[in-house]
Amino acid sequence: MNAFDELLAGFTPDRLIRDAAATGEGIAIAVVDSGVERAVIEARHPEAKPIEGAIFAPAFEPYLGHQSSPHGTTVADVLLRIAPRAKLYSADVFGPLGNSEVETVVAAIHHAIDVWKVKVINLSLGVPEHKLQQLPKRNLLRRAIDEAYFRDVLVFAAAHNEHPLSKSYPAAFGTPLISVDKGLFDDPLQFAYHLQDRIEFQAHSRGYLGPFAQEPATSWATPHLAGIAARILTLRPTLKPFEMKTLLYWMFPPR
């Protein structure tokens, strides 16, 4: 019996996801976003592991515990509500100018894999389609996502909030990453497989911190599902990305 079979044996989906040992312990997550305000997160999650990171825009700089904008802090707060013992790394790809380029996101992904050795990358952001009209840029981003997959790193990416009318990358690539759309659920640990134009899952889409957190958005749905994956990885850290996707599908089939 392999690790995947062992995980499923004797478990119902609800029991698996709510196992007392499923805390995110031992799992590193990269928050590729607008930075994380460390003091805010420490105040809200005093038992959380210290947040480390780096700034990637406009140039690579040390992370001093600050955000470029509140978005990334809201994402980090969601992750720690779901997986309170996970280790977060803040990859600020926006910086003080408030915008990001494909090359910056790709550099952050590679750094998260090679230096931080993360198991999960949360991309609650998207590169609009018009920025990827140049094929070399689109291929650069696609290769970074493929590299994560081959290195057994799970990538969760937010769909465009106007999905399916608008496309946002890398979520629009579909496989091998896990794409997330917004949904409304009574329980933040609930989600659903809901395939629509390459976007596969819906997750709870309200956050808990910040002025826009209660507005349903794919930005908040993505860390809910990424946090659930971190919980599961605590129980079986050797799960491959394709096994995780199969497991998530098994837990909450299409609705």
The pLDDT of residue 254: 62
Topology of the domain covering 3-251: Rossmann fold (3.40.50)
**pLDDT band per the 50, 70, 90 thresholds, residue 121:** very high
Asked whether the predicted pLDDT for residue 10 surpasses 60, the reply is no
**pLDDT band per the 50, 70, 90 thresholds, residue 240:** very high
- Check: CB of residue 169 under 8 Å from CB of residue 127: yes
Average pLDDT over residues 230-254: 88
- Extract the tokens encoding 239: 């799960």
Angstrom distances, CA of residue 135 to CA of 41, 108, 129, 145, 151: 39, 20, 11, 15, 24
Helices marked H in the chain — which ranges? Answer: 3-8, 13-17, 38-44, 71-82, 102-114, 135-150, 218-235, 241-251
The pLDDT of residue 251: 80
- Extract the tokens encoding 162: 């106007």
Average pLDDT over residues 105-120: 98
Round to whole Å and give the CA distance between 78 and 244. 20
Residue 158 CB partners (closer than 8 Å, separation 6+): 123, 124, 125, 126, 168, 171, 179, 180, 218, 219, 221, 222
Q: Give the up-direction half-sphere exposure of residue 38: CA atoms within 13 A in the CB hemisphere.
A: 16
Asked whether the predicted pLDDT for residue 6 surpasses 70, the reply is no
The pLDDT of residue 223: 98
Asked whether the predicted pLDDT for residue 219 surpasses 70, the reply is yes
- CA-nearest of 34, 153, 33, 30 to 88 is 30
199-204 and 191-196 strand pairing: antiparallel
- Check: CB of residue 227 under 8 Å from CB of residue 81: yes
Asked whether the predicted pLDDT for residue 131 surpasses 80, the reply is no
Average pLDDT over residues 25-46: 98
The pLDDT of residue 104: 95
Q: pLDDT tens digits, residue range 188-211?
A: 999 998 888 789 999 999 999 988
The pLDDT of residue 97: 83
The pLDDT of residue 9: 62
**pLDDT band per the 50, 70, 90 thresholds, residue 4:** low
Domain chopping of the chain, boundaries: 3-251
> Of 70-74, 126-130, 173-177, 224-228, which gets the smallest average pLDDT?
126-130
**Cis peptide bond N-terminal to 237, omega within 30:** no
Mean of all residue pLDDT scores within the chain: 91
Asked whether the predicted pLDDT for residue 246 surpasses 80, the reply is yes
Average pLDDT over residues 86-95: 97
Asked whether the predicted pLDDT for residue 2 surpasses 70, the reply is no
Asked whether the predicted pLDDT for residue 15 surpasses 80, the reply is no
- Other CB atoms within 10 A of residue 53 CB: 24
Tokens 């098994």 found at: 250
Query: CA angle 67-178-180, nearest 5°?
Result: 65
> Of 25-39, 46-60, 83-97, 188-202, which gets the smallest average pLDDT?
188-202
**pLDDT band per the 50, 70, 90 thresholds, residue 252:** confident
